[in-house]
Amino acid sequence: MLKNSKSFFCQATLAVLLASALPAAATATAVVPTLRYTLAMPAPQTHYFEVKMDLGGFPAEYTDVKIPVWAPGSYLVREFAKNVEGFQARTTGGQALAVEKLNKNTWRVRHPKQADFQVSYKVYAYELTVRTSFVDADHGYLNGTSVFMYPADNKMLGSTVVVEPAAGWTKVSTALKPAPGKFTYKAASYDELADSPIEIGNHKVLEFSVNGTPHQVAMYGTYTADDTKLTADLKKVCEEAHRVVGQNPLDRYLFIVHNLERGGGGLEHLNSTTLEVSRTTYGTEAGYQSFLDLAAHEYFHLWNVKRIRPVALGPFNYDQENYTNMLWVSEGMTSYYARLINKRAGFISQETYLAKLSNAITQVENTPGNRVQSAAESSFDAWIKGYRQNENSSNSEISYYSKGDLIGAMLDLNIAEATKGEKHLDDVFRFLYDTYYKKANRGFTDKEFQDAVATVAGRRYDDFFQTSVYGTKTLDYATALGYAGLTLSVAPLNENGTLGASFANRAGRIVVVGVKRDGAAWNSGLNVNDEVLLVNGTAPNEESIKQLLGSPVGTDVKLQVRRDGLTRDIALKAVADPDRKYTIQPVASPSAAQQRVLARWLGSTK
């Protein structure tokens, strides 16, 4: 993206335009616009950030100021303007300026004959997720899109950011480059500011280096990890991630880690990430591995999404949805690489890797929505479906994370087979990095991604993309795994019958919480939120419901339920469970060709 050079070009061009519009005698005084933010939190327990924007060199009659409606990497319109209060504008001498709100996220400041002026406002920040902002008596955390506004016609204008921590807070952690002055930073454009979260407080900071690049880990909250082991293992994750593309785009990197009672998730940024985990997650082998998986996923986004990206994902339109069919690449293949990076780094064995891949296939193939929605459709509809799950989502949707993960595995194996073990998916990402990020300085189209795969593999996979990526045809797992000397066995997940429904105890009430497409409950008219009053004439409890779920095939079940305050009787018959368990196992005597593919697939790229 080369944000620094873009910012310089836009500022220089603007200066030329301003100069050409002025009389000759005045051109010597033409100036490039300037922008300075001051971020304060004088009463953090009230959950407000206070922002001042000092704008200089804006000679127009008015300036429109905006706040985004979404956060890149999290594909949902979140309406950040809803948290803004007290928007005001004044001259540098303190005189109030007229302000008009044009729409939900745009304010017009009228400043005739006042090229320099100040905007101030407050932001209520009390939602501690990786996508939003938060401040309380303990710490402050912000994503730029939910706090910082920008002049609408000067999004590429560079800025200075001064952070004024609350009383007693001594640390500020951000991937923004430092500028002269305490807790002062600079951003080459609004895109960079928006993509550089900030952690403020008294958090612990850990450090390590990867390929000569300094890395920091800002650890907020109490946690149980061993710092020495944590930094050593993160270093291995990062080193292995670097080997995939083979080029280092960094001069610094920051992990912000929120250790909470309950937490989960991450969000990628240009030179940083925010991870949210349970503070006890490091205490078990499975929990610690999940942390490394999360770290690997978000770190690999440095390449896949932040630099190797679909054309829709940058430069961003912060006013509306930015649609793409390719989140199965941007997110799904990043999930695929997270597991692969941890295998290559030695954190999981080949046996464990294959077990995890088996579970991933089992999960996708037992989701009814996998036969309804394609990976491309899932990507495009993320804005209206992916982040707005309801009781029918599993019946009508498939996650672009989980489906893209498996598409990545199948493409990787196919490329390795087509090139006799010489190349694999890493080479596709290297090609995309060089061709579109470095040379063209843009994202790629759907067709260009397919062309990249064909260039590396030496053959086209148009039918695969048409039927299994843009369509819902089941991936040919067995053939692809066979290239690596692996077999895929399929067995019933459950030998008993099933009603195709799930139940939960809610304050002593047994309630239907899920109904599976085309199952007995679906066809008999049992609904989510029905309260079960009787099972075969007897009041239910958790034990009887557990027995009910294990009913033999053909068992007749009579339920009395309450719906909308009325009772009704529903008759069901337990049917054979259609769900299947998939298991990957190596063949006894793989051929030399199969061994080459397996080594290229799961081995290190060293």
Q: Is the pLDDT of residue 606 over 60?
A: no
Query: How much is the pLDDT for 159?
Result: 98
Q: What is the residue range of 470's domain?
A: 313-486
The predicted model gives 352-367 an average pLDDT of: 98
- Is there a single domain that holds both residue 192 and residue 112? yes
Query: How much is the pLDDT for 29?
Result: 54
- Is there a single domain that holds both residue 327 and residue 437? yes
Query: What is the CATH classification number for the domain harbouring 248?
Result: 3.30.2010
- Is there a single domain that holds both residue 477 and residue 526? no
Instruction: Give the residue carrying structure tokens 């004088």.
Output: 42
User: Does a structural domain hold residue 380?
Assistant: yes
For 167-197, write each residue's pLDDT tens digit: 999 999 999 999 999 999 999 999 999 999 9
- Is there a single domain that holds both residue 213 and residue 197? no
User: Does a structural domain hold residue 97?
Assistant: yes
DSSP character string of 445-462: -HHHHHHHHHHHHTS--H
Query: How much is the pLDDT for 286?
Result: 95
Is the link from the previous residue into 33 a cis peptide, with omega within 30 of 0? no
The predicted model gives 14-18 an average pLDDT of: 38
Query: How much is the pLDDT for 605?
Result: 39
DSSP character string of 187-250: ESSHHHHHT--EEEES-EEEEEEETTEEEEEEEES-----HHHHHHHHHHHHHHHHHHH-----
Q: Which of 26-40, 247-261, 358-372, 561-575 has the lowest mean pLDDT?
A: 26-40
Q: Is the pLDDT of residue 273 over 90?
A: yes
Spell 35-47 as b/e; 16+ CB within 10 A means b: bbbbbbbeebeeb
- Is there a single domain that holds both residue 40 and residue 92? yes
Residue type, 509: R
Q: Is the pLDDT of residue 399 over 90?
A: yes
Q: Is the pLDDT of residue 210 over 60?
A: yes
Query: How much is the pLDDT for 603?
Result: 79
Q: Which of 24-38, 407-421, 463-477 has the lowest mean pLDDT?
A: 24-38
User: Does a structural domain hold residue 26?
Assistant: no
> Are the C-beta atoms of 251 and 230 separated by less than 8 Å?
no
> Are the C-beta atoms of 226 and 234 separated by less than 8 Å?
no
- Count of beta carbons in the 10 Å neighbourhood of residue 29: 9
Token pair of 75 as six digits:
């594909």
Query: How much is the pLDDT for 304?
Result: 98
Q: Is the pLDDT of residue 9 over 70?
A: no
The three-class DSSP label of residue 6 is helix
Q: Is the pLDDT of residue 23 over 60?
A: no
- Is there a single domain that holds both residue 464 and residue 552? no
| Residues 42, 169: Cα–Cα separation, whole Å | 11
- Is there a single domain that holds both residue 282 and residue 335? no
- Count of beta carbons in the 10 Å neighbourhood of residue 523: 14
DSSP character string of 279-331: TTGGGSHHHHHHHHHHHHHHHHTTTBTTTB-BTTSSS--TTS----S-HIIII
pLDDT confidence band for 263 (50 / 70 / 90) = confident
The predicted model gives 134-143 an average pLDDT of: 98
Q: Is the pLDDT of residue 22 over 50?
A: no
Query: How much is the pLDDT for 2?
Result: 36
User: Does a structural domain hold residue 255?
Assistant: yes
Handedness of CA 155, 158, 164, 169 (dihedral sign): positive
- Is there a single domain that holds both residue 501 and residue 469? no
Query: Could you tell me whether strands 171-174 and 198-201 are parallel, antiparallel, or unpaired per DSSP bridges?
Result: antiparallel
Query: What is the CATH classification number for the domain harbouring 502?
Result: 2.30.42.10
Q: Is the pLDDT of residue 421 over 80?
A: yes
User: Does a structural domain hold residue 593?
Assistant: no
The three-class DSSP label of residue 440 is coil
User: Does a structural domain hold residue 153?
Assistant: yes
| Residues 87, 119: Cα–Cα separation, whole Å | 7
* Nearest by Cα to 600 from 414, 459, 416: 416
DSSP character string of 345-362: TTSS-HHHHHHHHHHHHH
For 290-331, write each residue's pLDDT tens digit: 999 999 999 999 999 999 999 999 999 999 999 999 999 999
The domain boundary, picked from 148, 167, 202, lies at: 202
The three-class DSSP label of residue 598 is helix
Max CA pair span of the chain: 96
For 435-473, write each residue's pLDDT tens digit: 999 999 999 999 999 999 999 999 999 999 999 999 999
- % of residues, the chain, pLDDT over 90: 92
User: Does a structural domain hold residue 154?
Assistant: yes
Beta strands in 84-158, from DSSP E residues, in sequence order = 84-91, 98-103, 106-110, 117-124, 134-135, 140-142, 150-151
pLDDT confidence band for 25 (50 / 70 / 90) = very low
Number of domains within the chain? 4
pLDDT averaged over every residue in the chain: 94
pLDDT confidence band for 589 (50 / 70 / 90) = very high
DSSP character string of 476-530: -HHHHHHTTTEEEEEEES-SSEE-SEEEEEETTEEEEEEE-TTSHHHHHT--TTP
- Is there a single domain that holds both residue 428 and residue 570? no
- Count of beta carbons in the 10 Å neighbourhood of residue 184: 16
The torsion angle over the Cα atoms of residues 158, 159, 160 and 163, rounded to 10 degrees, is: -130
Q: What share of the chain is helix, strand, coil (3-state, %, to 5)?
A: 35, 30, 35
- Is there a single domain that holds both residue 473 and residue 547? no
* Nearest by Cα to 247 from 172, 325, 304: 304
The predicted model gives 507-512 an average pLDDT of: 95
Token pair of 393 as six digits:
């989502």
Q: Which of 30-34, 112-116, 322-326, 528-532 has the lowest mean pLDDT?
A: 30-34
> Are the C-beta atoms of 275 and 223 separated by less than 8 Å?
no
The domain boundary, picked from 157, 184, 202, lies at: 202
Spell 478-503 as b/e; 16+ CB within 10 A means b: eebbbbbbbebeeeeeeeebbbbbeb
- Is there a single domain that holds both residue 219 and residue 196? no
Backbone dihedral region of 565: left (phi > 0), alpha (psi from -120 to 50 degrees) or beta? left
User: Does a structural domain hold residue 565?
Assistant: yes
The domain boundary, picked from 302, 330, 363, lies at: 302
Q: Is the pLDDT of residue 6 over 80?
A: no
- Is there a single domain that holds both residue 467 and residue 342? yes
The predicted model gives 6-26 an average pLDDT of: 39
- Count of beta carbons in the 10 Å neighbourhood of residue 537: 7
Q: From residue 180, how far is each of 51, 78, 251, 258 by CA, in Å? A: 20, 34, 19, 29
